[in-house]
Amino acid sequence: MAKKKKGKQVRASFRKRQNTRVRKRDFTKEFNEDADGLSDQRTAERVSGKGDLTRKRTIVGSDAETDASGFEVELDVDAADSLRGRVLRVHGLSSFVSDANGKVWNCSVRGVLKSLSTDLQHVVVAGDYVTIRQFEGSETDQAVIVRVEPRRNQISRTSRKRQQIIVSNVDRALIVASAKEPGLKPNLIDRFLVTAEQAGITPVIVINKADLVDTADLQPAIGVWCQMGYRVILTSTITGQGVQELRRVVHGRDCVVAGQSGVGKSSILNAIEPGLELRVSKVSSENQKGRHTTTTAQLIPLSVKPDESNDVIGQDDDSEGDEYASLYRKGHLIDTPGIRQMQLWDVIPEEVAGYFRDIRPFINECRFPNCSHTHEDDCAIKWAVADGKIDARRYESYCSIRYGDEP
């Protein structure tokens, strides 16, 4: 967390919509209505970057790491009359926040937070640790979010040239795909893997509906991911295959469940956590695409423990020392809406190869330091593909991501 000085005044950029037009333009209409009033019109305007023309304001806070929080500044708040909590879900202008005692608050967002200039599509997202303040004189569950704490990590994508954070502050990502109805999309899984590598989140590949196909047909794709060290779990909510293993994976962790629409994310959550009864829908018979049954990301507290206490992946607890995480040690499952396209955020073409575990070891063996690994001579990665050291499909996935093609 960035160091801050209480009461420090800093200059912060605000959204463009906060600026008002300095000079009115419709003089003809004003002349017809009030000709004498034109003598009061402004005849000059300042262009020095101050006053009504500037997008910067002075606020109380401290400089923050933009990559960690999404904001240029960290607002200063009085801890005496504030509470700490975590965002469970966001519905329109309302954010539902759970405090340390388990009480859920219906919160709006402080105006200055919504006005700060940022690349974020939404200021507050599920999984955020926040500081809230109850409305003065109110005895209800109404409160306001006065500060969003720096995010430890986030799963995000590009949406309309802005950053859409799907969920923040998670330990593991369950990348869910289906063996059939809809069919397996390895390239989309690769994009999720790149996002997880970028965020430093442990990915687990879950292939659902395994009962609909012969598992031998899935072995070529599964084998490639397993050779790189990724864990792959075959599941079926009909037969119960893989459900107990998933319970061991998610126990005591905050795990986001992400993937394409119709792959059975909500069904898997219902199987892991009996009694949850999340709404599910069948895949369209016309185009084999899922329907958007889940409309918003939400944190679901875990209550069911696995039969075995050991974790098959290992104790990769990244939340040590987090003053907020100690309040939420039981773990959560985070259900998310289906994603049909995954355009990466803040990944330049030159960085893509570094996020591929199988391609990364060959990068320094190329003849040219700025090799794109697509058309150059003496490219070690192209030679590795030809020799079978790198899977040809994975290489095609790399090229697709590098040149911005849709999955």
70 annotated as a binding-site residue: no
Q: Is 148 annotated as a binding residue?
A: no
Chain centre to alpha carbon of residue 49: 35
Residue appearing with tokens 């409305």? 135
Annotated binding residue at 399? no
DSSP 26-63: -HHHHHHH-SGGGGGS------SS-GGG-SEEEEEEEE
What whole-number distance in Å separates Cα of residue 164 and Cα of residue 25? 37
CB 71 within 8 A of CB 62: no
DSSP sequence for 217-236: GGHHHHHHHHHTT-EEEE--
* The two three-digit tokens of residue 79, written as one number: 């801890």
Residues 6+ apart with CB under 8 A from 211: 236, 238, 239, 241
The reply to whether 19 sits in an annotated binding site is: no
Beta-strand (E) ranges in 93-234? Answer: 94-99, 104-109, 129-134, 142-148, 154-159, 162-168, 172-178, 202-208, 231-234
- What is the number of other CB atoms lying within 10 angstroms of the CB of residue 277? 10
Is 382 annotated as contributing to ligand binding?
Answer: no
- Tell whether 50 is in a known binding site: no
259 among annotated binding-site residues: yes
Percent helix, strand, coil in the chain, to 5, is: 25, 25, 50
Cis peptide before 369 (omega within 30 of 0): no
The response to whether 373 counts as a known ligand-binding position is: yes
Q: Is 265 assigned a ligand-binding role in the annotation?
A: yes
Other Cβ atoms closer than 10 A to 44: 6
137 known member of a binding site: no
Query: What CA–CA distances, in Å, run from 397 to 153, 158, 403?
Result: 24, 18, 10
Is there a binding annotation on residue 261? Answer: yes
d(C-alpha 393, C-alpha 19), whole Å: 50
CA distance 223 to 219: 6
Flag whether 103 is marked binding.
no
Centroid of chain to Cα 198: 12
* 331 labelled ligand-binding: no
236 is in an annotated binding site: no
- Which amino acid, residue 3? K
Q: Convert 61-79 to b/e letters by CB count within 10 Å (16 or more is b).
A: bbbbeeebbbbbbbbbbee
Which residues define the annotated binding site?
Answer: 208-211, 259-267, 366, 371, 373, 379
Binding region for Zn(2+): 366, 371, 373, 379
Binding-site residues from annotation for GTP:
208-211, 259-267
